[in-house]
Amino acid sequence: MSTFPVTRLRRLRRTGALRAFARETHLDLDQFVMPLFAGPDTKANAELPALGRFSVDDLVRETESLVAAGVTAVILFGIPPEKDEVASGAYDDDGIVQQALRALRPRFPELVLMTDVCLCEYTSHGHCGVLKEGAAGSLHGDEVDNDETLDLLARTAVSHVEAGADVVAPSDMMDGRVGAIRDALPHTPIVAYSAKYASAFYGPFREAAESAPAFGDRRGYQMDPANVREALRECEQDVAEGADVLMVKPALPYLDVIRAVRERFDVPLAAYNVSGEYAMVKAAARGGWMDERAAALESLTAIRRAGADIVISYWTKELASWL
């Protein structure tokens, strides 16, 4: 039975100070990670500024501004000058991410340097692993050789750590890749893209990273958007193989998955507020249909409220000024 009028929940909503007093979920810059794209040259993105790419020198300058604003962690993606069938630029000691790490590490000793570990930006065909011999290019990524890819992913992760990375984050969705990386790096934190879905929300990222598949799609290794129990199995496997942090990607269409993972596992949980989520709000704001700041803060609060401890977001730099 209602306890009104004794209970009046509006009492704590009357002023901003009272609302803050009763607020259950808070945003703190320490919870956020800024994605950065390193490439052979700088290429601005006027409509989606956080999806621009930087030469190594310009990346250092951009990182200086982020650190000055209070950002404490970044995740690096690389766009190599050349690509090949075996993604050699991913694990080359002089690869673009390795160059960026060596430039950033001594300059920003307290900054958490996380790297995305995947082959899609480095393969000529744009898939996240090497292809099976004689692969004809199926529609669903079945031609990607899971087990042959594991060694290259581990080599990539090792090269990143040797260049200065604090944390590696495998995003390829090959079975067994966390275990392969853990065997090679027993002391390095691994943030596993554990529940990474075959989503339509990655489009702006793939354009920025020049990583769209040349044929087919990634449904043969990324998760079916209809599944949540499978996501829990992926997370369970990654924890067993040595993951320190689990991740759900994308974030906003998968808040139920974030909540399910949070309730099942006690390890830290990350969520990736992906490029399509960012781009939709940016586009709506440009059209005058939405207040970008209010929509972004509401979105990020929802991700945290669902259970994410860490949020990778293209709004991180702007969030620094908003908070």
Question: Per-domain residue ranges for the chain?
Answer: 25-322
In angstroms, the CA 254 to CA 202 distance is 14
Question: Does residue 196 carry a catalytic annotation?
Answer: yes
pLDDT band of residue 137 (cuts 50, 70, 90) is: low
DSSP for 45-80 reads -SSSGGG-EE-HHHHHHHHHHHHHHT--EEEEEE--
DSSP SS3 for 215? coil
pLDDT of residue 165: 98
Q: Which two tokens stand for residue 275?
A: 């490029």
Prediction pTM value: 0.95
pLDDT band of residue 214 (cuts 50, 70, 90) is: confident
Question: Does residue 249 carry a catalytic annotation?
Answer: yes
Looking at residue 137, its amino acid is G
Give me the chain's average pLDDT, please: 95
pLDDT of residue 112: 98
Backbone angles phi, psi at 245, to 5 degrees: -135, 135
Weakest-pLDDT range from 66-70, 211-215, 309-313: 211-215
- Given the residues 43, 83, 132, 249, select the one marked as catalytic: 249
pLDDT of residue 210: 82
**Domain 25-322 in this protein, CATH class:** alpha beta
Could you report the per-residue pLDDT of 7-30, keeping only the tens digit for each? 999 999 999 999 999 999 999 999
Give the C-alpha distances (Å, rounded to integers) separating 206 from 57, 79, 82, 155: 23, 11, 16, 23
pLDDT of residue 209: 80
Q: Other C-beta atoms within 10 Å of 117: how many?
A: 29
pLDDT band of residue 143 (cuts 50, 70, 90) is: confident
In angstroms, the CA 141 to CA 123 distance is 14
Q: Which two tokens stand for residue 165?
A: 């990375």
pLDDT band of residue 138 (cuts 50, 70, 90) is: low
Residues 6+ apart with CB under 8 A from 43: 52, 53
pLDDT of residue 177: 98
- Residue 106: is its pLDDT beyond 80? yes
- Given the residues 83, 196, 282, 317, select the one marked as catalytic: 196
Question: Is residue 65 classed exposed, middle or buried when 0-12, 13-18 and 19+ CB atoms within 10 A define those classes?
Answer: exposed
Give the C-alpha distances (Å, rounded to integers) separating 2 from 7, 9, 11, 161, 255: 8, 12, 16, 58, 30
